[in-house]
Amino acid sequence: MAYRSFSPVRRSRRRRWLVTLAIGVILIAGIIFAVQYRTEAREVADYLAVTEGAVELQAQAATDLGVAFQDLSGVDRPDLLRRLAEMHAGTAEAAVAIDGVVVPASAAEAHGYLVVATRSWEQALDGFDEAVVAVVDGTDDTAGAALADALVLLRVGDVAYAEFLVRVGDFDSDIAEGDFAAIAFVPREGPVRFEPAIIENRLTSTYQLGSQHNISVTAVTDPQPIGERDSVPIVPDSEVFVVQAVVANEGNETEELISVTLDLIAVDAETAPITITQTVAELEPGEAKTCIFDGLVLHGGALYELVISASTAEDDSSDDNAWRMVFYRNENV
């Protein structure tokens, strides 16, 4: 049986069809690659945007820590504790952001190091202020060890972050580039040596970092004295007599349940003394509050002694705990 030979025309058509198919496959593959490339670039760019913002918070905390310990003589206790609290807040916020970021496959290794760095820094600064206070006050024999452990954790974070920077540097620059600052909470070189014994010694030798309790009180009257008789102030006659006592916390510890007492004594009369006490619930270091004593009855021509005193559970200086004024009440006209 004879077969018809395959015609050149049919062979040519088949070749053209195969070439067309091959070109189509190549085009589709190119489109898929381009889409994947753009998707990867977008994912990496989004990842870097989030992590760069978080790293800025940590870089600021590292800078603040160095500044705070560079010159402790210019830092008082409330300011140092406030700074440490802000540093921890910054690292904690950064940790939350990094934990929630979407991690592209190409950034997985780098992200692992960043997670270690972030968690180490955040854990080190969590309770760092308490360790500092315990070292300064000498209230806990383990405070020095806790401070040393925190410094170790900070170093762990520094090393992990350095590895993160190496991995980020390997990213394809055509996809995305990150701009990350170098961070060292515990630098090997610089004006501050972050060695536990050195830091502990500097803390304990800085006077203003020690616990200081000091409540003061001053007062003004309404009406105020307008003249004198035999060097004794004279308060003019009026329908009301009000005393405003200003209580201030001049120490560096928060004070609670401060008793503010008014004693009004008629020196040359048989009128019974007046004693009124108010309580200020809480005063932060540097804070002041006003207690108003009104409804006070004075008799014309009488000599009075007015004493405002403030007391709390502990006070290192009692010289300013009371305010006193002796005065005449003017005769009724």
The string of pLDDT tens digits covering residues 139-178 is 777 778 888 888 888 999 999 999 998 888 777 555 455 6
* All domains in the chain, ordered by first residue: 10-209 (no CATH), 215-329 (2.60.40.10)
- Between 73-77, 100-104, 123-127, 217-221, the lowest mean confidence (pLDDT) is in 73-77
pTM (2 d.p.): 0.57
Predicted confidence at residue 33, as pLDDT, reads: 37
pLDDT tens track for 261-274: 999 999 877 788 99
- 25 pLDDT band, cuts 50/70/90, is very low
More confident site: 157 or 200? 157
Predicted confidence at residue 277, as pLDDT, reads: 96
Distance CA 78, CA 327 (A): 39
Around Cβ 93, how many Cβ atoms within 10 Å? 16
CB within 8 Å of 130: residues ≥ 6 apart: none
**The pLDDT of residue 221 is above 90:** yes
Residues 129 and 81: beta-carbon distance below 8 Å:
yes
Calculate mean pLDDT across residues 83-104: 89
H helix intervals, the chain: 8-70, 77-99, 108-125, 128-137, 143-169, 196-204
Q: Which residue has the tokens 């950034």?
A: 107
Query: Is residue 324 classed as helix, strand or coil in its secondary structure?
Result: strand
**The pLDDT of residue 119 is above 60:** yes
Distance CA 137, CA 143 (A): 10
**The pLDDT of residue 131 is above 90:** no
**The pLDDT of residue 11 is above 60:** no
Q: Determine what percent of the chain is predicted with pLDDT higher than 70.
A: 81
Calculate mean pLDDT across residues 42-53: 83
Predicted confidence at residue 34, as pLDDT, reads: 36
Around Cβ 8, how many Cβ atoms within 10 Å? 8
Q: Cβ-count burial of 126 within 10 angstroms (0-12 exposed, 13-18 middle, 19+ buried)?
A: middle
Predicted confidence at residue 31, as pLDDT, reads: 43
**The pLDDT of residue 97 is above 70:** yes
Q: Determine what percent of the chain is predicted with pLDDT higher than 90.
A: 30
